[in-house]
Structure 1
């Protein structure tokens, strides 16, 4: 955000901040409900009851940036030793289920529901990697139509809303450990925001593991975008010059992940004083709170009602399958 853009975004940032403070006060003084879920709920209420004012839209739309900054700061609290000890197993689960999800969604979309091939590819990328961001990343390479992109985005947003509410409830009913819940939600939920929200709604440790696991999926966004671009370029013509270069791969890479890794490495080396670590912890907690108010404003019930049935059934079948298998794998690996 540049200095010149500051006057445009400040009103919306104030809306996010007021929503975050209100969620915090309601959670601690009145309702006793997790404040992150309350923040999402307040955002949903604002978007669907009165609508986000036009003057607030530029600032509210920055919510993903605050989430990314919060994830970077969270690196100071990650138990790096524990992560390294389970790293190979976690990486294997992430890569394995990402590949499985891509293939499963493509097959179900084409062979079972016979929806358009490009729409199936958008759904596959959106579910297996990181939701709307992945849909946008692969849309140009897939050469998808505007209505196909809209259907895919609406479908993903619907499942973001459903899983955000359902996962913490299911986790508590099954009495899952913090690590199991974090890994399970990080592997099988869709978008980064809901994953982080659900994880921290369960517990602090679950939130950290959910975030780390989800970041492991996110880093493949560029690779998958390139693969889809190459596939459709070769299929539609003999000219492969449209294949994405290393530069386009870097453009799709979620660079905030590098910030997270850097902060975690510095903190694990003992180079950050405990008082500063505590300050960073409070910082990322408030950044998450503000970001989730904005996340809630992206859930528009009116648009979700317009989602076609077939894309919804494709993602539902994939979610149930991947969720069940990844829960079993997480229990076997970390239970």
Structure 2
């Protein structure tokens, strides 16, 4: 795609990012939450003009780049001290979420098998990305993909508001809040947004925890593909397919964290990197706000929402209780 097609949308992201920072400096809420709100208003009150769409769609690139740069602010020593424990929590919560959603969908609410699987993947791993990845391996219908994706996006919007409120009411520490958001919220963008909005420490732990959870996508895709292949209703994915679904920015994040721990960056360089990833997040979250479309959310069926809501309440409550004991 030519740079000329991208420039109008990129310019819009920049204007939104600058406006969000200005509003926050003037005494408004956190700049990242303001950025999401500005994108949401643009999409739902005005509508994104067609000429802006190519540039605005690059917001996922800026999010990935910001996450990679955030690795430079982490100390691997701190991560290693509690990293094994956090990894166990990530695997445990992801597994419980998947089982709870599948059980509710199939045995309580009578949701179609494939739709239930898409909801389980989206809720347990990485939101819409997991829905799309699993859908391709189990031959899900387009309407099932749409229902599952809309349900995930609905809860992304809700948790963006609810989690910061709960964090403030319970006066959660940065580590507890960050890990809690990372293991129980759905999509990467909202997790990073609420984490950074809480505190720098929460932002780092929310990002690291969510990346560990995202890395499980290959296991989940392979598991679902194998299950449906055995039943004669799906195809086994290739290694190339699994690698294509793996979030590559995890590698970059860990690489910069290793370099930072080895003393590769001076204090001034780390400050510059931090400023850079904050601006990249602003660009990304303006674009993220445009992904929350009220018209699409209204088409979400009631049953998928109830299934995911019950699961979220159970998993978020249990995981928060465990984390407050552990940390």
CA distances 1:32-85 after superposition (whole Å, capped 9, x unpaired): 211111000000000001111100001111101100100000001013211110
**1:117-153 per-position Cα deviation (integer Å, ceiling 9, x unaligned):** 1000000000000000000101011211111110001
Aligned mate of 1:11, from 3, 8, 11: 8
Other-structure match for 1:236: 232
1:259 Cα shift? 0.3
Q: How many residues align?
A: 327
Q: How big is the shift at 1:303?
A: 1.1
Contact 1:121 1:142 (8 Å CA) reproduced: no
Aligned equivalents of 1:223, 1:202: Cα separation in 2: 31
Query: Within 5 Å, which residues of 2 pair with 1:55-134?
Result: 55-134=51-130
Contact 2:75 2:260 (8 Å CA) reproduced? no
User: Aligned partners of 1:150, 1:243: CA distance in 2, in Å?
Assistant: 23
Matches within 5 A, 1:122-161: 122-161=118-157
| Cα distance between partner residues in 1 of 2:167 and 2:128 | 25
Aligned counterparts of 1:109 and 1:201: Cα–Cα separation in 2: 33
What is the TM-score when the length of structure 2 is the normalising length? 0.98
> 1 CA distance for matches of 2:166 and 2:112?
33
Which one is further off, 211-220 or 75-84?
75-84
Once the two structures are TM-superposed, the CA of residue 13 in structure 1 deviates from its matched residue by 0.8
Encode CA deviations 1:245-273: one digit per residue, 9 max, x unaligned.
Answer: 32222111101100000010011100122
Residue number among 250, 256, 272 corresponding to 2:249 in the alignment: 256
CA distance in 2, matches of 1:127, 1:155: 10
Question: Which runs of at least 4 in structure 1 moved beyond 2 Å after TM superposition?
Answer: none
Q: Is 1:28 matched with 2:18? A: no
Q: Which residue of 1 aligns with 2:210?
A: 214
Distance 1:202 1:277 in 2: 21
> Residue in 2 aligned with 1:194?
190
Comparing 76-85 with 173-182, which one deviates more in the overlay? Answer: 76-85
Return the TM-score normalized by structure 1: 0.96
Query: Is the 1:27–1:33 Cα contact (8 Å) retained in structure 2?
Result: yes
